Structure 1
Amino acid sequence: MEWKVGELARQTGLTVRALHHYERIGLLEPSERTAGGHRLYDEADVARLYRIVTLRGLGLSLESVRTALDGELPLADLLRERLTQVDQQLDALRLTRSRLLLLADGERAHNSADLLALMEEAHTMDQKMGEYFSAEQLQAMQERRNEVGEEAVAAVEQEWPVLMAKVQAEIDAGTDPADPRAQALASRWMELVASFHGGDSALRDSLYRMQAENAEALAQNYGGPTPQMLSFIQHAQNTTP
């Protein structure tokens, strides 16, 4: 059997323009033409077209589809590459979902003005994170968050304010950083920090640098530890037996 371009377009749900484009880029060329120059596609052409449609449906680019069908690179390799891209997109969507939930459920999100202010703060924080962490590090942090699970992450997030309040209470009481109470607080502090960087020294160093250079702003705008708290914990760490 043979199909003209219009007939093939109707059968596949593609446009004639799309089929012409596939021909221009060498992805699908009609096997024959009529005496009048009209394109004719045979069964092999149609089979190739359905492979193209299938691979495009998986999100492969036209160039990747051509590479796979022409045997220039194993299809399995291209699919694994696409799978990595999909995983990254899923991570990005999960992060977006978390932000949407946070913004929608925030205490200040009762009117449009407050919600826009929260969104602006989130955007500013994203930009700040980008100054200190590479794209790979941000991806690793998101993957670690997914592995740990939202419930465990929420538990850590809830513990931070309590721990900071205990540290501040010891500071106010004039507790020596070498005191066992201070040592215990410092130990737990470092455990929570480690849950963030997961033992990655580069990630840990980026975190410390961001914290040191933005301590006042983080404490004031995001409820982070004050420079005084950080100094107390550092002294307690330095005096650990």
Structure 2
Amino acid sequence: MSRRSGEAARFWKVGELAERCGLTVRTLHHYDSTGLLRPSVRTESAHGAGHRLYGEADVARLQQILSLKLLGFSLDQIREQLGRDEYDPRQVLRLHLASVRGQLAELTSLESRLRTLADALDRAEAVSVEEFLTTIQGMTMIEKYYTADQLAALRKRREEVGEEAMNRAPQQWADLQAEVQAAMDEGVDPPDPRAGALARRWFDLVSAFTGGDPEIFKSLNRMYANEDRIRDMDVAAMRPMIAWIGEAAEAAGVRHPGM
């Protein structure tokens, strides 16, 4: 932590630092007892025992601990990360910043929808129940099935793939689903090699979306299993197709992203 020239070094007692940072004394004591963050300064006293104080370097370390914690690391993992020779606090700040920006994008989208509702109500306009339902779905659907870490990973994946590729994805899915439905209507059995080829393409598209993360695939699968509609998509009508793809993948030995 840098300090202006001539500015005196600052130190904090545990209660002072807890209050200043919005933490509890108990939290700081726990970090101390586990060796994650120990006050680095001890004052001398005429009566023997002095005070243990947190210095500026301790505050900088505390910030890193909290950033890593918000990024989903356990305290044991944080201790391990901070102890690495190649540990770079700048990288943690960049990761945390990217996560916050992603959350901001989600909130901005929700803000836009809520503002539209509020403006309509201010003008005494009728708002369809469908608009309310869509807004509520946007508020609850994602958080219901995905963890904060998974959402961050999906946002990162979107950035890696690029907007152009993401914009092509809906049409790719529509074309593939049409081919699968045509094969099913034709009576193609799941063990047929043609079905296996379609299953392979299906899971390749899923992997492009999830980045091959098995936990994200499981969350996606749960959402498709439990929700009849996702935005404008009739998921209930897709379930026979999803089951057929699953049987075809098993018959062809195609590994899905959740394996």
- TM-score, scaled to structure 2: 0.53
Residue aligned with 1:239, SS: helix
In the alignment, which residue of structure 1 is the partner of 2:239?
Answer: 227
Higher helix fraction (1 or 2) = 1
Q: Deviations over 1:132-184 (max 9, x none)?
A: 22111111111111121111111122211111111111111211122232222
Indicate whether 1:239 and 2:251 are aligned. yes
Taking the aligned partners of 1:226 and 1:184, their CA distance within structure 2 comes to 19
Give the Å deviation of 1:73: 2.4
- Give the counterpart letter for 2:97 in structure 1: V
The structure with the larger Rg is: 1
Residues in 1 aligned to 2:153 and 2:210: alpha-carbon distance in whole angstroms: 9
CA 1:196–1:152 in structure 2 vs 1: closer, same or farther (change >3 Å)?
Answer: same
Q: How does 1:136-147 map to 2 (within 5 A)?
A: 136-147=149-160
Q: Following the alignment from structure 1 to structure 2, what is the Cα–Cα distance between the partners of residues 155 and 187?
A: 19
1:73 to 37, 43, 58: 58
SS in structure 2 at match of 1:226: helix
- The CA deviation string for residues 46-81 of structure 1, in whole angstroms up to 9 with x for no partner, is x68xxxxxxxxxxxxx649xx9x9524264874856
- The CA RMSD over aligned residues, in Å, is 3.8
Measure, in 2, the Cα distance between the counterparts of 1:100 and 1:149: 24
In the other structure, the counterpart of 1:156 is 169
Deviation at 1:190, TM superposition (A): 0.7
165, 174, 185: which one aligns with 2:198: 185
Distance 1:220 1:235 in 2: 27
Give distance in 1, aligned partners of 2:141 and 2:187: 34
Partner Cα separation in structure 2 for residue 158 and residue 118 of structure 1 = 25
- 1:131 corresponding residue in structure 2: 144
Unaligned runs of 5+ in 1: 1-42, 49-61, 104-110
Distance change in 2, residues 1:135/1:222 (3 Å): same
Q: Which residue of 1 aligns with 2:181?
A: 168
1:89 corresponding residue in structure 2: 100
Aligned residue for 1:26?
none
The answer to which of 197-206 and 187-196 deviates more is: 197-206
The answer to whether the 8 A contact 1:176-1:182 is kept is yes
Contact 1:95 1:142 in 2 (8 A): no
The 1:190/1:219 distance shift into structure 2, 3 A limit, reads same
* Cα distance in 2 between the residues matched to 1:87 and 1:132: 21
The CA deviation at 1:209 is 2.0
1:32 aligned partner: none
Partner residue in 2 for 1:121: 134
Measured at CA, do residues 73 and 219 of structure 1 come closer, stay the same or move farther in structure 2, by a change above 3 Å? closer
Whichever residue aligns with residue 91 of structure 1, its letter is G
User: What is the Cα deviation at residue 236 of structure 1?
Assistant: 0.7
Aligned to 2:211: 198
After TM superposition, the score normalised by the length of structure 1 is 0.57
Q: CA deviation at 1:86?
A: 2.9
Look up the match of 2:85. Answer: none
8 A Cα contact 2:193 2:252, kept in partner: no
Gap change, CA 1:149 and 1:123, over 3 Å in 2 = farther
Q: Offset of 1:96 from its aligned partner?
A: 5.1
**Gapped runs of 5+ residues in structure 2?**
9-19, 23-38, 40-53, 65-88, 115-124, 254-259
Measure how far apart 1:87 and its partner are: 2.1
Q: CA deviation at 1:127?
A: 1.1
SS in 1 for 2:188: coil
Q: CA deviation at 1:205?
A: 1.6
In 1, the alpha carbon distance for the partners of 2:169 and 2:157 equals 14
